[in-house]
């Protein structure tokens, strides 16, 4: 298989056991993600969260922090306890710094949270 250079890294985290009973849990997660972006010294461009009451979409939220180098997102099905986080950068900031920060804060807040997988994928493959 041909080896390629890359210009970005994407870190994926999947959890079970997510349990945060605050009505504004999506806003809490968005603050956590924004803090992670600042910790990684990435430049935030936009941040948004949408909470879902279960009437049309599953109960939970979707949150995104756009950075000039890509994004950090969180998707949660809170009734099932599922949480997916992804941190993607294609510049100087390290998505692992963001992922580590988010993971540490989640573990402090939710002792029964279980990390099912953490994967790192090279992105923007090019050259040979």
Residues catalogued as catalytic: 70, 75, 90
* Choices 3.60.90.10, 3.40.1160.10, 3.40.640.10, 3.90.100.10: CATH for 11-123: 3.60.90.10
pLDDT at 2: 63
Q: Calculate what percentage of the chain has a pLDDT beyond 90.
A: 73
Q: How far apart are CA 125 and CA 128, in angstroms?
A: 9
pTM: 0.92
Is the per-residue pLDDT at 128 higher than 70?
no
Mean pLDDT, range 82-103, rounded to an integer: 96
Q: Domains of the chain: which residue ranges?
A: 11-123
pLDDT of residue 124: 85
**CA geometry: angle at 43 spanning 37 and 120, to 5°?**
50
Q: Are 17 and 113 in contact (CB under 8 A)?
A: yes
Task: Note the helical H segments in 3-128.
Answer: 25-39, 95-109
Confidence of residue 115 (pLDDT cuts 50, 70, 90): very high
Of 26, 28, 33, the closest CA to residue 67 belongs to 33
């Amino acid at each position: 298989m041909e080896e390629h250079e890359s210009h970005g890294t994407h870190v994926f985290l999947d959890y079970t056991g997510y349990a945060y009973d605050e009505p504004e849990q999506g806003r809490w997660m968005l603050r956590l993600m924004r803090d992670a972006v600042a910790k990684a010294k990435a430049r935030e461009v936009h941040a948004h969260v949408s909470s879902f009451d279960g009437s049309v979409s599953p109960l939970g939220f979707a949150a995104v922090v756009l950075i000039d180098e890509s994004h950090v997102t969180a998707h949660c099905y809170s009734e099932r306890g599922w949480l997916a986080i992804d941190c993607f950068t294609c510049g100087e900031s390290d998505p692992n710094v963001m992922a580590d920060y988010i993971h540490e804060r989640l573990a402090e807040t939710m002792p029964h949270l279980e990390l099912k997988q953490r994967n790192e994928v090279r992105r923007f493959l090019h050259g040979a």
